[in-house]
Amino acid sequence: MTLSVYFPAHRFKDVDLLRARLDRRVRLIHSLELPIPADYKVLVAGRPSREQLTASPNLQTLVIPFSGLPDTTRTLLVEFPDLTVHNIHYNDASTAETAMGLLLAAAKFIVPIDRTFRKHDWTPRYQRSPSAHLDGKTVLILGYGAVGRRVARACRGFGMRVIAVRRNLTSHGLVDIPVQVYGPSALRQLLPQANVLMLSLPLTPKTMGLLGANELALLPPRALLVNVGRAEVVDEAALFEFLRDGRLHGAGLDVWYNYPTDEASRTHTPPSKFPFHELDNVVLSPHRAAHTRESEDQRLIHLAALLNSAARGEPLPNRVDPTVGY
């Protein structure tokens, strides 16, 4: 039996890679125009239009070709409760790798020392080191999904104790390494243990502003914070003040509070209303944790695997609950 899949995206250059990996039972329709007849069972779109969701009476599944759920999509999907929604985690490895890079750069003050040494100034070598020791310290991972589990494994490799918070405690993986996983209600009890706070949370009504000044104040002195999830999980003003005043040892930030609105503004858009760029204890990254030279190929490879599972009638991974937000 043929599985008809409508893929209206225009930004994927190598759709031939996707086609080459698809089961012969998958009929891929790659076009910006709605197919006639519109009889597809699967729609692949991150931000589908209402027309794309209603055109086919056979539509059963929406596949979002990335991780996460855009707000506009979540709002629209409330009107389609019978539609199953899935996404793909093609970028969990690269995001976790960047998270660890940000952690190490922030802990060891690599960026400001590199900046000084480029001027042939050896002074930092002979001063008291600002670097933080990670071995034996505790990392608290908020958002213990695909990225969080990879970060946990890496942190264990550095000799760190790992604790994590996850909404669903029924299955969290990584039984081969010691990780203590708790529900969201335990957050305030866990924060005082967290020498490193690692954030890989999606942005939902429940995670918006999850960490404000009161929560950051519960962290041990000189804690580190890394965010590869969504910026608005942490209160913007509180984060800046804690970093400026040295109550946080440092931070590695890949996600921000303000983004360019068009191509012309990409070269001069500040990421926040606060001058994070003036702080030497912050490593700034322009929301590129998931980007590698191989990322687009990986996206299509993972998408093909999911569509092939659908064609075989197998249960699909990465189910998204629009009512929750991920």
Of all residues in the chain, the percent with pLDDT exceeding 90 is 81
Confidence check: pLDDT of 266 > 70: yes
pLDDT at residue 241 in the model: 98
Q: Supply the pTM of this predicted model.
A: 0.89
Q: How high is the mean pLDDT of the chain?
A: 93
pLDDT at residue 140 in the model: 98
Pairing verdict, β 196-199 and 223-227: parallel
pLDDT at residue 10 in the model: 67
Of the pLDDT bands very low, low, confident and very high (cuts 50, 70, 90), residue 258 is very high
Mean pLDDT of 54-63: 96
pLDDT at residue 70 in the model: 87
Of the pLDDT bands very low, low, confident and very high (cuts 50, 70, 90), residue 11 is low
pLDDT at residue 16 in the model: 87
Residue 44 backbone dihedrals phi, psi, to 5 degrees: -105, 105
What span, in angstroms and rounded, lies between the C-alpha atoms of 7 and 10?
A: 9
Q: pLDDT tens for residues 207-250?
A: 999 999 999 999 999 999 999 999 999 999 999 999 999 999 99
Residue 18 backbone dihedrals phi, psi, to 5 degrees: -65, -50
Higher pLDDT pick, 111 / 323: 111
Domains of the chain: 3-90+294-320 (3.40.50.720), 92-284 (3.40.50.720)
- Give the HSE-up count for residue 128: Cα atoms under 13 Å, Cβ half-sphere: 0
Higher pLDDT pick, 200 / 295: 200
Mean pLDDT of 14-35: 92
Higher pLDDT pick, 323 / 141: 141
Of the pLDDT bands very low, low, confident and very high (cuts 50, 70, 90), residue 15 is confident
Q: pLDDT tens for residues 196-205?
A: 999 999 988 8
Residue 276 and residue 282 in contact, taking contact as beta carbons nearer than 8 Å: yes
Angle, nearest 10°, between helix axes 146-157 and 92-108? Answer: 40
